[in-house]
Amino acid sequence: MTTRWGSCSPHSGEVRLSTRLAAFPDWVIDYVIVHELAHLVIDGHGHEFWELVHRYPKSERAIGYLIAMSGDDDTH
């Protein structure tokens, strides 16, 4: 996995994380896990999806961290 922080296959329930996350703080890794697990409940990145993801209290902070680490504004 070189272009995404994580991925989820809803049909199998499999979540994959980039090995690049290993050097990141736990709260960022937790965010990526929350983000991917949310796809098991809601497909896509619509309003309901983000409402669910943002229940993780450090989601905004983690998104900012991932943006800074990627040099890009797409953390999905």
The reported pLDDT for the residue numbered 2 is 46
The reported pLDDT for the residue numbered 4 is 86
Identity at 23, one-letter amino acid code: A
Could you tell me the end-to-end alpha-carbon distance of the chain, in angstroms, rounded to an integer?
13
pLDDT in tens, the chain (76 residues): 446 899 999 889 899 999 999 999 999 999 999 999 999 999 999 999 999 999 999 999 999 999 999 876 555 5
Q: What is the DSSP string of 15-60?
A: EEE-GGGGGS-HHHHHHHHHHHHHTTTS-SSSHHHHHHHTTSTTHH
The reported pLDDT for the residue numbered 74 is 54
What's this model's pTM, rounded to 2 decimal places? 0.87
The reported pLDDT for the residue numbered 11 is 87
The torsion region of residue 22 among left (phi > 0), alpha (psi -120 to 50) and beta comes to alpha
